[in-house]
Amino acid sequence: MQVSHFALSNAPVPPLSVAWLQPVIPNYRVPLLQRLAKVPGLQVTSFYGAGNAEFSPPSATAGLTTVDAQEVKSYSWPIKRERTLWQAAWRELCYGPYDVIVCEETIHNLTNWALWATRGWHKKKLVFYGYGYRPDQLATGLRYLRDRMRKIFLTSADALIVYTNRGREECCRVGIENEKIFVSGNTLDTEALIPLAQDPGVIAGAGGLRERLQLGARPVLVYVGRLVPEKRLDVLLHTLRQLRTTMDPAPALLIVGEGASLPQVREQARELPHVHFLGPIYDDYELAKVFLVADLLVIPGRVGLTCVHGFCYGVPVVTTLRQVEQSPEFDYIQHEKNGYVVSEPRVELYQEALTTLLRDKERLRAMKTHAYQTARSLTMSTMTTQFVAAVHHAMARA
């Protein structure tokens, strides 16, 4: 039986099939997956690990039923246990019906290397996503080896998705062609979070939280994130101890999170009044109540996407420039506009910064306005567009 040319030309075009390998799928990543699921002509299947409760947020449960996602067994390095060693997804990714494989641009996950080494056999396009660079925290020899390995990795990719413009600039600096680099503007679902500040239930809940914790009229600092050494909570708690003698009323501190350092942090805060441990909060509605009572979000160490969370509610962030390993989202912080960048993680510098900001109400009000404006400029719509553009660019490469 012959098939007419008309029938061939009008045959439905199968969707572009993408496999996305991730160490975990935290709650904040689910909205992006949900948006990608609605893109016509695109089918994204996510493979993810459960996460290490001590060092990373757990993979989401709510929301994953609305997207195509499969949990795979993950293994961590025995020393650097926060880093993924291997994910049992190589066979499925290589033999599965996928046109493009997207994975992190990290060299410590050996699954990435297995996918890279067998690309000539499985013939699938490779897209790497992540920072686009690495902070210079290693000794010279190790840093040279790491950078050489990463350059091999990145130059062979069919496309790169980097979090910020700095990632693009660093990739171009080492010779990667600009045309295959896509800047996602890594963010949270700001379009959903920002309206929560006007939600009557959230506003009432924030008032109830202030009353329950007996915050009164005292300034409120908030810390949100994993309780791990690189966050430098020790600096914040020692600073709070000093502020007790110089500010009246002294600030309260709300700590949201869990992690390996929780026992040490509790011990450091044991004799400090007005320090409240709220535990991990992954519900955006509940977390919004915490941000609405906060004057400042203070994270002396690694900031991450938490700064965007604060910005959604007009909360400026205070963090550190040097002697800490910052994440790409640090680039969103504009000193004395939407936040305050302390030069080093030293108690006296934090004491001076927090005292100045909390006493200058007009300055703090202006910073809150800029923080809110920053959140409005960071949208998940942009992330979706850039992801789609990257995988289509990869498919178009010979």
pLDDT, mean over the chain: 92
Pick the CATH number of 190-377 from 3.30.1330.50, 3.40.50.2000, 3.40.50.720, 2.30.33.40: 3.40.50.2000
Among the ranges given (131-145, 270-284, 334-348), the one the predictor scored with the smallest mean pLDDT = 131-145
The answer to whether 181 touches 172, Cβ cutoff 8 Å, is yes
Structure tokens at 133: 């660079």
d(CA 227, CA 55): 8
Neighbours of 396 (CB within 10 A): 10
- The predicted structure's pLDDT at residue 7: 42
Structure tokens at 243: 């502020």
Give the neighbor-by-neighbor strand order of the sheet with 252-256: 275-279, 252-256, 220-224, 296-298, 317-320, 339-342
Instruction: Check residues 339 and 59 and name the one with the higher pLDDT.
Output: 339
Where is 265: in which H helix or E strand? Answer: helix 262-268
d(CA 3, CA 52): 55
Place of tokens 């320090």: 275
pTM, 2 dp: 0.91
For residues 57-64, give the mean pLDDT.
74
What does 156-190 look like in DSSP terms, one character per residue?
T-SEEEESSHHHHHHHHHTT--GGGEEE------H
For the stretch 219-232, pLDDT in tens is 999 999 999 999 99
- Closest by CA to 144, choosing from 132, 134, 154, 131, is 134
d(CA 107, CA 191): 33
Radius of gyration of the chain from its Cα atoms, rounded to whole angstroms? 23
> What's the fold here for domain 5-187+379-396?
Rossmann fold (3.40.50)
Residues of the chain with CATH 3.40.50.2000: 5-187+379-396, 190-377
How many residues are there in the chain?
A: 398
Instruction: Check residues 168 and 6 and name the one with the higher pLDDT.
Output: 168
Neighbours of 346 (CB within 10 A): 16
Where is 116: in which H helix or E strand? Answer: helix 110-117
- The predicted structure's pLDDT at residue 6: 38
- Evaluate if residue 189 carries a pLDDT over 60: yes
Place of tokens 């506009």: 337
Give the neighbor-by-neighbor strand order of the sheet with 69-71: 69-71, 42-48, 16-22, 100-104, 125-130, 159-162, 181-183
Structure tokens at 237: 């708690």
Neighbours of 398 (CB within 10 A): 3
For the stretch 341-350, pLDDT in tens is 999 999 999 9
Q: Give 112's pLDDT tier (boundaries 50, 70, 90).
A: very high
What does 214-245 look like in DSSP terms, one character per residue?
T-TTS-EEEEES--SGGG-HHHHHHHHHHHHH
